[in-house]
């Protein structure tokens, strides 16, 4: 099938590459000349597992890039809109980019097309896209608007696309629904998974994935409600972690007990410094705004957002407690991305915490395997960037872990202890066990778990030295 994908960000580029992987002819459109030129040269602008391999496999064969939306509309039968929908100051989604694309598509129609919302948009967007296209002169009989929300996690977006938990198609006409079902047929029939070149199957994959056919409004709500619910799970377990800290319980044990209930599940029950990224903060605020416009005050989402912000403040209080005073302290920061496996720093808890520490006159040396260049423009203040974790730790008064990169879970703790000025590790991602840290003479503070007691640690260290 001839497909156009408008937008080459995290969603658009992954979708374009994966549609090509499924055997479709894909034209990816972007209006940024520099990004377009880089993609045409074969450069990969984002850090995403398997994406470089797919782009190399399909570029200039059945995946091409263009700056002309009009050309893409004329050459394609299905146009996926995957442009940004940033949050406004009030929390509402800014749909101006979607509207501009819809208007240009309408002006370029030369036959029946299916217009697909791939961006995360509020309910009623499909109706507004249809109205904009009609007002622009698009003949009613020559297009349908469909909602096909993405459920991609940055860092695993390619496997999430090719091995989805479900495929949601929100179509209000049988004609459009049939075309979308054909696009995903390589997945729903299981044919793609029989290919020797198929991307490797992740644990727990549903093969073939279920396809859910809904109305466009239901599909739009499914996306927003899903992200809001996942954000709620994260805030809930972080709130429970605060109770655990008050009574010296272990949030890891509590979360395991909760997550073992099949009605709840263990995913997104990892306590830490809170959620971030391009989706959860924006989508929770947008869903709350949508509910308010519909006459419902979704106060539960207010609390989800409050807990998430408070989690960062609680982490800062842990650092202050460990170091007494922060002014003039040299801190090693591991992690700038909002989560491991991606270079995305949008709404990153790490960036927020760093900014707060800089206002307290701390000296910071940071390291991230992929996100450093994206983080630099967002950080206001003097900060040094290291080439590896050990350079960051060298001479620091404490080590702070803010992103759950696999690399950070396998550090040489003996080396870390020797490099630190004070043996203090404040782990915002619970990557280690306290006993393991203490065996290496490190005072360990994490989220929702008992912290090392300085007197006990000093006694253990003295015993080790004397023996």
How far is Cα 273 from Cα 311, in angstroms, rounded to an integer?
5
* DSSP H/E element including 444: strand 443-445
Q: Are 441 and 459 in contact (CB under 8 A)?
A: no
Total Cβ atoms within 10 A of residue 295:
6
3-state secondary structure of 79: strand
* DSSP H/E element including 331: strand 330-334
Q: Within its chain, how far is the Cα of 375 from the centroid?
A: 15
Q: Are 291 and 220 in contact (CB under 8 A)?
A: no
How far is Cα 389 from Cα 335, in angstroms, rounded to an integer?
9
* DSSP H/E element including 130: helix 125-135
β-bridge mates for residue 211, sequence order: 167
* Nearest CA among 338, 330, 336 for reference residue 308: 338
Structure tokens at 392: 């960051």
Active site residue 279: yes
Beta pairing, strands 113-117 & 78-81: parallel
Q: Are 111 and 141 in contact (CB under 8 A)?
A: no
* Nearest CA among 4, 7, 60, 64 for reference residue 31: 7
Strand order of the β-sheet with 384-385 is 384-385, 363-367, 330-334, 398-401, 424-427, 443-445
Total Cβ atoms within 10 A of residue 173:
13
Q: Are 289 and 92 in contact (CB under 8 A)?
A: yes
Annotated catalytic residue, options 18, 28, 244, 279: 279
What are the E-state strand segments in 350-442?
Answer: 363-367, 384-385, 398-401, 424-427
* DSSP assignment of 144-181: EEEE----PPTTSHHHHHHS-S-EEEE-SSHHHHHHHH
Beta pairing, strands 363-367 & 78-81: unpaired
What are the E-state strand segments in 93-161?
Answer: 113-117, 143-147
For the annotated catalytic residues, the residue numbers are 279
């Amino acid at each position: 099938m001839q497909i156009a994908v408008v937008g080459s960000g995290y969603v658009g580029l992954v979708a374009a590459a994966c549609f090509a992987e499924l055997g479709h002819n894909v034209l990816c459109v972007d209006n940024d000349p520099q990004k377009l030129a880089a993609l045409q040269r074969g450069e990969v602008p984002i850090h995403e597992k398997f994406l470089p391999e797919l782009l190399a496999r399909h570029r200039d064969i059945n995946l091409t890039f263009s700056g002309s939306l009009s050309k893409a509309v004329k050459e394609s039968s299905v146009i996926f809109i995957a442009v940004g929908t940033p949050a406004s100051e009030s929390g509402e989604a800014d749909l101006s980019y979607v509207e501009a694309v819809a208007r240009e598509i309408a002006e370029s129609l030369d036959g029946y097309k299916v217009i697909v919302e791939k961006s995360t948009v509020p309910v009623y967007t499909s109706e507004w896209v249809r109205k904009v296209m009609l007002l622009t002169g698009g003949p009613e009989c020559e297009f349908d608007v469909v909602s096909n929300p993405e459920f991609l996690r940055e860092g695993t977006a390619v496997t999430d696309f090719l091995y989805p938990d479900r495929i949601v198609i929100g179509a209000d006409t049988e004609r459009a629904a049939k075309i979308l079902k054909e696009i995903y047929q390589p997945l729903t029939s299981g044919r793609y998974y029989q290919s020797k070149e198929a991307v490797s199957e992740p644990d727990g994959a549903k093969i073939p994935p279920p396809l859910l056919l809904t109305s466009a409004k239901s599909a739009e709500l499914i996306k927003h409600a899903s992200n809001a619910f996942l954000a709620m799970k994260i805030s809930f377990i972080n709130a429970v972690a605060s109770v655990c800290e008050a009574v010296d319980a272990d949030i890891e044990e509590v979360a395991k007990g909760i997550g073992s209930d099949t009605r709840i599940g263990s995913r997104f029950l990892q306590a830490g410094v809170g959620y971030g990224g391009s989706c959860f903060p924006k989508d929770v605020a947008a869903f709350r705004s949508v509910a308010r416009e519909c006459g419902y005050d979704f106060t539960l989402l207010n609390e989800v957002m409050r807990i998430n912000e408070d989690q960062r403040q609680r982490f800062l209080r842990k650092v202050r407690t460990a170091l007494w005073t922060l002014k003039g302290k040299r801190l090693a920061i591991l992690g700038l991305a909002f989560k491991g496996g991606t270079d995305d720093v949008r709404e990153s808890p790490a960036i927020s915490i760093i900014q707060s520490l800089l206002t307290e006159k701390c000296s910071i040396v940071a390291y991230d395997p992929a996100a450093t260049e994206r983080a630099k423009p967002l950080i206001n203040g003097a900060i040094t960037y290291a080439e590896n974790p050990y350079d960051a730790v060298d001479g620091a008064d404490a080590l702070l872990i803010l992103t759950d990169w696999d690399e950070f879970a396998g550090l040489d703790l003996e080396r870390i202890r020797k490099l630190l000025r004070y043996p203090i590790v404040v782990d915002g991602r619970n990557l280690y066990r306290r006993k393991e840290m203490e065996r290496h003479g490190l005072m360990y503070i994490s989220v929702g778990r008992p912290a090392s007691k300085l007197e006990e640690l000093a006694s253990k260290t003295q015993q080790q030295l004397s023996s």
